[in-house]
Amino acid sequence: MKINKTNAARLLDKAKIAYELIPYEVDEDDLSAVHVAANLGEDIDLVFKTLILHGDKTGYFVCVIPGEHEVDLKFAAKVSGNKKCDLIPVKELLPLTGYIRGGCSPIGMKKQFPTYIHETCMNYPYIYISAGQRGLQLKLNPNDLIKEVRADVCVLFTE
């Protein structure tokens, strides 16, 4: 089966960053990272989800966290230089990023937003992120992702 490259994959090619494009079966009723991990046969701690938030001082920013966790809004506000922040409404996702829910990659958004990745990404030789469409994940070294999106590694929730 031929896999069409996404913009995120093309940007990684341009940056000469190694990755794998991994397809998985989409369930429109369950777009969760837990479902993606089960489909990939991987530990949920390796499958990261991309969240877009809006802060009261800095505007939009991106948080990338392990799939079964929720971002702690107080932590996210603090690391991003805001007093408070919230997840954006789903209807704002496509016009803002160019991506849809369940297919939002931290790579290749319409605009490069400040990006924060939860520190556990550093525990693994590779992680999975969305390739920019439902049904396709990028498997890559977390250091390469950090470099590509100029991310800060930080704590975005507590266990």
CATH number where 28 lies: 3.90.960.10
Residue pLDDT, tens place only, 61-117: 999 999 999 999 999 999 999 999 999 999 999 999 999 999 999 999 999 999 999
Residue 104 three-state SS: coil
- Residue 64 resides in a domain: yes
H/E element, 147: helix 142-149
Q: What is the pTM of this model?
A: 0.95
- Residue 1 resides in a domain: no
Q: How many domains does the chain have?
A: 1
- Residue 69 resides in a domain: yes
- Residue 159 resides in a domain: no
- Residue 120 resides in a domain: yes
Q: Average pLDDT, whole number, for the chain?
A: 95
Q: Is 137 left (phi over 0), alpha (psi -120 to 50) or beta?
A: beta
Paired residues of 63 in beta bridges: 51, 116
Domain with 14 in it: 7-154
- Binned at pLDDT 50, 70 and 90, residue 29 comes out as confident
Residue 43 three-state SS: coil
- Residue 33 resides in a domain: yes
Any long-range contacts for 6-10 (C-beta under 8 Å, 24+ apart)? 6/105, 6/108, 6/131, 6/132, 6/133, 6/136, 7/98, 7/107, 7/108, 7/132, 8/105, 8/107, 8/108, 8/130, 8/131, 8/132, 8/138, 9/131, 9/132, 9/138, 10/108
Distance, in Å, from the CA atom of 7 to the CA atom of 106, rounded to the nearest integer, reads 11
- Residue 2 resides in a domain: no
pLDDT for 1 beyond 70: no
Distance, in Å, from the CA atom of 39 to the CA atom of 14, rounded to the nearest integer, reads 29
- Binned at pLDDT 50, 70 and 90, residue 158 comes out as confident
Burial state string for 91-100 with b = 16 or more CB within 10 A and e = fewer than 16? eebeebbebe
- Residue 47 resides in a domain: yes
Q: Which residue has the higher pLDDT, 86 or 31?
A: 86
How many other CB atoms are there within 10 angstroms of residue 83's CB atom? Answer: 10
